[in-house]
């Protein structure tokens, strides 16, 4: 990882007259001391600065058709600006203003906390999302990946503007990544960023590692509203930089992450058995600094839960016992290679990719590197990844279903 | 359409798409159905072959139809368990009464149970014809593209029946209400009539609704979310349909907030659109937001193809530019005029509430 306090990337992207500016601070809920702190702090970046109130910022942005978003998630906090290309300098200047001189006004902090509490109440009304977080808690708790970025109502209530300011200072100390993409001169954009963010100098701060997950319980039953059951099966797999990740990406496609109704699990659950409308699979969901997870989701009727679990387990058992065919591996590889150009179409995608490249210290924004990495995987590696990570007897299960 | 046709067995279209590094999907609205593919440019002819074949050689195996019916029943259950989807369905039913816009696109359990392969075959034969379809290809398809399309579709038999005129939508003639109980959070969906999307009133009304319920400084967002802090979120949307339809104000309340208070404030802001139409500043801001949304919305080639397809299918190829020009040309007087004409919630609206159980 770079030792620079400020990392800057600019890229000329032809196409629509849109410029995207991303400012990522290496500090999300992984380093928060109170659940919800990263999210509330991140959101407060657009809620007032030393120069302007939230209303002045929002009025000016909307008056230029600019989309401002401030965020705090598991690994990062920061701001994202999408603007018409003519406003690229303004977008850089405003991003610096929000990140370097946030005011954390007390009344906006109180509102951000109350708003996040409202979001948690809303989340509980959505059975799939609610079950998904129960599953994440089962897999990862007490690691912060196991909880919604909002934390919980009580932890939110204990936050105040000083806690947010302290968190922001820690996040800034961890390093800042700024990317700019669009129909711009990259050198001019990078120069402007360096000038506006010039106060970011000095040593990088060290963040402690978050607590590791406890051993998960094998099965969790989670009461949800509605009539349908929501089934999550999975287990932790690998982090983003792990050499096994490309093989797991191919496995994801073989199992059902390839879109449409293709892939072993959707084909079995939806097409052959007619058990579900919604089903999705990913063998490395959320892989980041910490391990992601294999997850298979099935939305089905309460009476079909047992059958759906059997189907997923049987498909994984068959995969491990019989392996995958060369044709399947080649098909999955062709799919992932074919999708690559579509991940690099827009200024917004490039700005995100460049920032992710710096954050993970991987050349994710290099098509050649991504293609080479996928081409290097062979069938034996895919099968080895399946044996290591997809044991059907080692799955953890959360079933969200109406309380009886 | 994905379950077998001529050379493609059930599931083969998806498998072939994946093998070529592409993606595909489909969606249905009240006005149209769209099928789409995105491939890197060397493979786009495969999509053309698939569409050409399934236009007149669809298998419709009865067993596949039965399985798909089961799947759609699960889809129905999924929508019903989502509080917004369930409320939207209830409001549509009351707002449109027997008009087709009031029917859930996914159908109902009873009607789904009665549909068999033969009925689907007849529907497909009648409507899936070249004179009832629009084909859009966008991207680096080469100079021979039109000849290639002609080669695959040129000999297909037209014969789709003239598009049936829909019955005139019955606008609510009073301030109707619908209430349901689901979950722990209160949600409001207030629907008012709106013109069809090619009506000259549509663009000014869209601007008016952006000023009312767009981003943070819009009237409702500022009042209900940012200042009085009663709601987690509020928004306004207007349906983009061929026929007159509906515009909605949606609000999700914070726990403990009295629904009547929010409803009263929404009504007050709707009334204020008539007594105090948006200022020049508000109009300029709404216009800028609309233009930026349009630019952001056509960044991808896929989005450009979709926008062109829907424009030609529902209106004509000049529709997007015409709509944008109307929005850019709209004056404060235009907004006042459309407010007077369309914002009559006490005379014509459906107020839907999803309240805590």
B205 and B72 inside one domain: no
Q: Which residues pair with B193 in a beta bridge?
A: B246
Q: CB distance from B316 to chain A under 8 Å? A: no
pLDDT of residue A2: 63
Considering only CB atoms, B82 lies closest to which of A83, A124, A126, namely A126
Chain CA centroid to CA A257, Å: 17
Tokens of A145: 């990946």
Do residue B81 and residue A225 have CB atoms under 8 angstroms apart? yes
Among A339, A316, A290, residue whose Cα is nearest residue A28:
A290
| Residue at B164 is within a domain | no
Tokens of A115: 């708003």
Do residue B184 and residue A345 have CB atoms under 8 angstroms apart? no
| Count of C-beta atoms within a 10 Å radius of residue A164 | 27
CATH of the domain at B180: 3.30.830.10
Among A93, A66, A128, A108, residue whose Cα is nearest residue A297:
A128
Neighbouring residues of B154: CB distance < 8 A, sequence distance ≥ 6:
none
| Residue at B97 is within a domain | yes
| Strand, helix or coil for residue A112 | helix
How many whole angstroms separate alpha carbon A51 and alpha carbon A96? 12
Place of tokens 């290639």: B148
Average pLDDT, chain B: 93
To test the contact with chain B by mutation, choose from A81, A119, A129, A258 the residue with the greatest count of B C-beta atoms within 10 A, namely A258
Per residue in A73-131, pLDDT tens? 999 999 999 999 999 999 999 999 999 999 999 999 999 999 999 999 999 999 999 99
Among A338, A307, A347, A267, residue whose Cα is nearest residue A84:
A347
Per residue in B200-225, pLDDT tens? 999 999 999 999 999 999 999 999 99
Indicate the domain borders of chain A: 6-196, 219-401
B25 and B145 inside one domain: yes
**C-alpha atoms less than 13 angstroms from C-alpha of A85 in its C-beta half-sphere:** 18
pLDDT of residue A48: 98
pLDDT of residue A402: 92
Q: Do domains A6-196 and A219-401 have the same CATH topology?
A: yes
How many whole angstroms separate alpha carbon B223 and alpha carbon B266? 9
Phi and psi at residue A71, in whole multiples of 5°?
Answer: -145, 160
Do residue B216 and residue A15 have CB atoms under 8 angstroms apart? no
Tokens of B281: 């500043």
pLDDT of residue A131: 97
CATH number attached to the domain at A6-196: 3.30.830.10
Per residue in A27-47, pLDDT tens? 999 999 999 999 999 999 999
B329 and B244 inside one domain: yes
Among A271, A316, A280, A318, residue whose Cα is nearest residue A298:
A280
pLDDT of residue B255: 95
| Residue at B191 is within a domain | yes
Domain boundary among B121, B153, B185: B153
| Count of C-beta atoms within a 10 Å radius of residue B338 | 26
Whether A181 and A13 have beta carbons less than 8 Å apart is answered as yes
Q: CB distance from B65 to chain A under 8 Å? A: no
| Residue at B159 is within a domain | no
Buried b (16+ CB within 10 A) or exposed e, B254-271: bbebebeebbebbbebbe
Number of domains making up chain B:
2
Q: Which residues pair with A83 in a beta bridge?
A: A19
The pLDDT of residue A250 is above 80:
yes
B222 and B106 inside one domain: no
Interface of B with A in 272-291 (CB under 8 A): 281, 284-285, 288-289, 291
Chain A positions in Cβ-Cβ contact with residue B24 (cut-off 8 Å): 259-260
| Strand, helix or coil for residue A294 | strand
How many whole angstroms separate alpha carbon B233 and alpha carbon B254? 9
Question: How far apart are the CA of A140 and the nearest CA of chain B, in angstroms?
Answer: 26
Q: Mind giving me the DSSP string for B227-247?
A: IS--EEEEEEEE---SS-EEE
How many whole angstroms separate alpha carbon B181 and alpha carbon A223? 17
The pLDDT of residue A344 is above 90:
yes
Chain A positions in Cβ-Cβ contact with residue B17 (cut-off 8 Å): 259-260, 262
Q: Average the pLDDT over each of A175-184, A230-239, B73-82, B198-207 and give the range with the smallest value.
A: B73-82
* Mean pLDDT, residues B104-120: 93
B223 and B317 inside one domain: yes
Residues in chain A: 404
| Residue at B2 is within a domain | no
pLDDT of residue A261: 67
Question: How far apart are the CA of B1 and the nearest CA of chain A, in angstroms?
Answer: 12
The pLDDT of residue B168 is above 90:
no
| Strand, helix or coil for residue A42 | helix
Task: Tell me what percent of the residues of chain A surpass a pLDDT of 70.
Answer: 99
To test the contact with chain A by mutation, choose from B13, B25, B78 the residue with the greatest count of A C-beta atoms within 10 A, namely B78
How many whole angstroms separate alpha carbon A360 and alpha carbon A373? 16
Do residue B254 and residue A121 have CB atoms under 8 angstroms apart? yes
Question: How far apart are the CA of B254 and the nearest CA of chain A, in angstroms?
Answer: 5
The pLDDT of residue A267 is above 80:
yes
Q: What is the domain range of residue B345? A: 175-355
Do residue A259 and residue B216 have CB atoms under 8 angstroms apart? no
Whether A379 and A199 have beta carbons less than 8 Å apart is answered as no
How many whole angstroms separate alpha carbon B113 and alpha carbon B108? 8
pLDDT of residue B331: 95
B276 and B334 inside one domain: yes
Q: CB distance from B239 to chain A under 8 Å? A: no
Q: Decide the pairing of beta strands A18-25 and A77-84.
A: antiparallel
Chain A positions in Cβ-Cβ contact with residue B299 (cut-off 8 Å): 15-16, 18, 345-348
**Residue A403 backbone zone (phi > 0: left; psi -120 to 50: alpha; other: beta):** beta
B141 and B182 inside one domain: no
Q: What angle do CA A399, A400, A401 make, to 5 degrees?
A: 110
Chain A positions in Cβ-Cβ contact with residue B138 (cut-off 8 Å): none
| Residue at B261 is within a domain | yes
Q: What angle do CA A147, A151, A152 make, to 5 degrees?
A: 110
Give, in words, the CATH class of A219-401: alpha beta
B126 and B261 inside one domain: no
Tokens of B9: 């067995």
Per residue in B250-303, pLDDT tens? 999 999 999 999 999 999 999 999 999 999 999 999 999 999 999 998 899 999
């Amino acid at each position: 990882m770079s030792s620079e306090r400020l990392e800057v990337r600019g890229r000329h992207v032809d196409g629509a007259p849109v410029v995207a500016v991303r400012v990522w601070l290496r500090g999300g809920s992984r380093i928060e001391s109170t659940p919800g702190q990263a999210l509330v702090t991140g959101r407060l970046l657009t809620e007032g600065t030393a120069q302007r109130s939230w209303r002045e910022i929002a009025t000016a942005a909307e008056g230029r058709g600019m989309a401002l978003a401030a965020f705090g998630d598991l690994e990062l906090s920061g701001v994202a600006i999408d603007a018409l290309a003519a406003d690229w300098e303004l977008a850089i200047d405003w991003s610096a203003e929000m990140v370097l001189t946030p005011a954390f006004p007390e009344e906006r902090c109180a509102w951000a906390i109350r708003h996040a509490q409202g979001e948690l109440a809303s989340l509980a009304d959505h059975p799939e999302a609610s079950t998904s977080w129960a599953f994440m808690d089962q897999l990862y708790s007490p690691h912060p990946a196991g909880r919604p970025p909002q934390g919980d109502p009580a932890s939110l209530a204990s936050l105040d503007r000083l806690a947010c300011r302290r968190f922001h200072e820690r996040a800034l100390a961890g390093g800042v990544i700024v990317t700019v993409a669009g129909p711009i001169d990259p050198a001019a954009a990078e120069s402007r960023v360096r000038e506006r963010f010039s106060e970011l100098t000095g040593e990088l701060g060290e963040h402690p590692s978050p607590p590791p997950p406890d051993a998960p319980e094998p099965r969790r039953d989670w009461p949800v509203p509605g009539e349908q059951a929501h089934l999550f099966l999975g287990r932790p797999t690998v982090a983003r930089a792990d050499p096994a990740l490309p093989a797991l990406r191919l496995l994801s496609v073989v199992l059902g992450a390839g879109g449409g109704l293709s892939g072993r699990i959707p084909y079995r659950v939806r097409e052959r058995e007619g058990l579900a409308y919604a089903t999705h699979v990913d063998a490395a969901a959320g892989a980041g600094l910490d391990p992601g997870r294999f997850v298979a989701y099935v939305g089905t009727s309460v009476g079909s839960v047992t059958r759906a679990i059997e189907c997923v387990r049987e498909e994984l058992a068959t995969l491990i016992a019989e392996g995958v065919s060369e044709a399947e591996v080649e098909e999955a590889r062709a799919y992932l290679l074919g999708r690559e150009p579509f991940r690099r179409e827009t200024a917004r995608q490039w700005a995100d990719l460049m920032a992710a490249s710096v954050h993970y210290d991987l050349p994710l924004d290099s098509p050649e590197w991504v293609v080479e990495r996928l081409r290097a995987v062979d069938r034996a590696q895919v099968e080895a990844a399946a044996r290591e990570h997809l044991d059907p007897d080692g799955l953890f299960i959360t079933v969200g279903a109406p309380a009886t | 359409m994905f379950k077998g046709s001529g050379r493609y067995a059930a599931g083969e279209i998806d498998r072939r798409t994946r093998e070529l590094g592409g993606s595909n999907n489909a969606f249905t609205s009240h006005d149209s159905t769209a099928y789409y593919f995105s491939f890197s440019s060397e493979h786009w002819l495969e999509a053309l072959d698939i569409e050409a074949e399934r236009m007149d050689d669809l298998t419709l195996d009865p067993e596949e139809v039965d399985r798909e019916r089961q799947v759609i029943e699960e889809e129905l259950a999924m929508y019903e368990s989502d509080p917004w989807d369930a409320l939207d369905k209830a409001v549509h039913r009351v707002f449109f009464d027997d008009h087709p816009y009031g029917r859930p696109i996914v159908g109902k359990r009873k009607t789904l149970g009665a549909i068999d392969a033969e009925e689907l075959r007849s529907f497909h034969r009648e409507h899936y014809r070249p004179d009832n379809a629009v084909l859009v290809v966008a991207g680096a398809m080469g100079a021979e593209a039109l000849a290639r399309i002609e080669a695959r579709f040129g000999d297909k038999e037209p014969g789709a029946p003239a598009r049936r005129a829909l019955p005139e939508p019955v606008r609510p003639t009073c301030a109707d209400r619908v209430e349901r109980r689901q979950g722990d959070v209160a949600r409001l969906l207030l629907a008012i009539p709106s013109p069809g999307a090619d009506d000259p009133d549509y663009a000014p009304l869209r601007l008016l609704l952006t000023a009312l319920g767009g981003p943070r400084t819009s009237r409702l967002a500022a009042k209900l979310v940012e200042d009085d802090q009663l709601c987690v979120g509020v928004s306004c949307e207007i349906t983009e349909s061929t026929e007159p339809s509906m515009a909605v104000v949606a609000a999700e309340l914070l726990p403990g907030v009295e629904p009547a208070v929010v409803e009263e404030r929404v009504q007050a802001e709707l009334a204020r659109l008539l007594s105090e139409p948006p200022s020049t500043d508000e109009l300029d801001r709404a216009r800028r937001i609309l233009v930026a949304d349009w630019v952001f919305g056509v960044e991808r080639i896929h989005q450009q193809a979709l926008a062109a397809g829907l424009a030609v299918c529902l209106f004509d190829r000049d529709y997007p530019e015409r709509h944008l020009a109307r929005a850019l040309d709209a004056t404060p007087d235009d907004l006042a005029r459309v407010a007077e004409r369309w914002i009559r919630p006490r005379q014509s609206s459906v107020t839907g509430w999803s309240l805590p159980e």
